[in-house]
Structure 1
Amino acid sequence: MAQKRMFSKEVVRSDEFLDLPATSQLLYFHFGMIADDDGIVASVDRELRYLGVGSKDDLKIMIDKGFIAVTSDGKLIFITDWLKNNNLRNDRYNRTNFAEARQELEAQGYKFKGKNFGIPTGIPTDTEEISINDSLNEEPSKNKGLEHGIPDVNQSATSDKEQDKDKDLGKGLGKVKNKDKEESQTDSDSLFIKYFSNFLNLSKKNIQRRALTLQEFIKLTSFEREQAAKASKVYHDWYLNTGNDVKYSVNSYEFILNAMFKEFQEMPEDKSGYDPELGF
Structure 2
Amino acid sequence: MAEKRMFAKIIIDSDLFLDMPLSTQALYFHLSMRADDEGFMNNPKKIQRAIGCTDDDMKLLIAKSYIIPFKSGVIVIKHWLIHNTLRKDRMTLTTYTNEKSMLRVEDNGAYSMIDNQLSTT
Both structures adopt the same fold (TM-score exceeding 0.5): yes
Match of 2:43 in 1: 43
How many Å separate the matches in 2 of 1:47 and 1:27?
Answer: 8
Does the aligned pair in 2 maintain the 1:42–1:77 contact within 8 Å? yes
- Structure 1 position 106, deviation (Å): 3.3
How many Å separate the matches in 1 of 2:54 and 2:75?
Answer: 14
Query: CA deviation digits over 1:125-181, x for unaligned, max 9?
Result: xxxxxxxxxxxxxxxxxxxxxxxxxxxxxxxxxxxxxxxxxxxxxxxxxxxxxxxxx
Q: Which SS does the other structure have where 1:69 is aligned?
A: strand
Counterparts of 1:248-263 in structure 2, within 5 Å, are none
Does the aligned pair in 1 maintain the 2:79–2:111 contact within 8 Å? no
Which structure has greater strand proportion? 2
- Structure 1 position 110, deviation (Å): 2.5
- Structure 1 position 64, deviation (Å): 1.1
Q: Which SS does the other structure have where 2:90 is aligned?
A: coil
Larger relative contact order (CA 8 Å, sep ≥ 6):
2
Q: Which residue of 100, 103, 114 corresponds with 2:101? A: 103
How many Å separate the matches in 1 of 2:45 and 2:71?
Answer: 16
Does the aligned pair in 1 maintain the 2:12–2:18 contact within 8 Å? yes
Q: Which SS does the other structure have where 1:91 is aligned?
A: helix
Counterparts of 1:123-272 in structure 2, within 5 Å, are none
Unpaired segments of 5 or more residues in structure 1?
112-276
Query: CA deviation digits over 1:63-116, x for unaligned, max 9?
Result: 11111110133x111110001100111111111011111112339x937xxxxx
Does the aligned pair in 2 maintain the 1:37–1:94 contact within 8 Å? yes
How many Å separate the matches in 1 of 2:94 and 2:64?
Answer: 25
Higher Cα Rg: structure 1 or 2?
1
Unpaired segments of 5 or more residues in structure 2?
113-119
Q: Which SS does the other structure have where 1:106 is aligned?
A: strand
Match of 1:62 in 2: 61
Which structure has greater helix proportion? 1
Q: Which SS does the other structure have where 1:101 is aligned?
A: helix
Percent identity between matched residues is: 38
How many Å separate the matches in 1 of 2:65 and 2:46?
Answer: 22
How many Å separate the matches in 2 of 1:27 and 1:9?
Answer: 17
Q: TM-score, normalised by structure 2?
A: 0.83
How many Å separate the matches in 2 of 1:9 and 1:106?
Answer: 23
How many Å separate the matches in 2 of 1:45 and 1:9?
Answer: 26
Match of 1:114 in 2: none
Q: Which residue of 78, 85, 92 corresponds with 1:94? A: 92
- Structure 1 position 9, deviation (Å): 0.3
Q: Which SS does the other structure have where 1:38 is aligned?
A: coil
- Structure 1 position 46, deviation (Å): 1.6
How many Å separate the matches in 2 of 1:101 and 1:47?
Answer: 20
Q: Which SS does the other structure have where 1:6 is aligned?
A: coil
Aligned length: 110
Match of 2:116 in 1: none
Q: Is 1:17 matched with 2:17?
A: yes
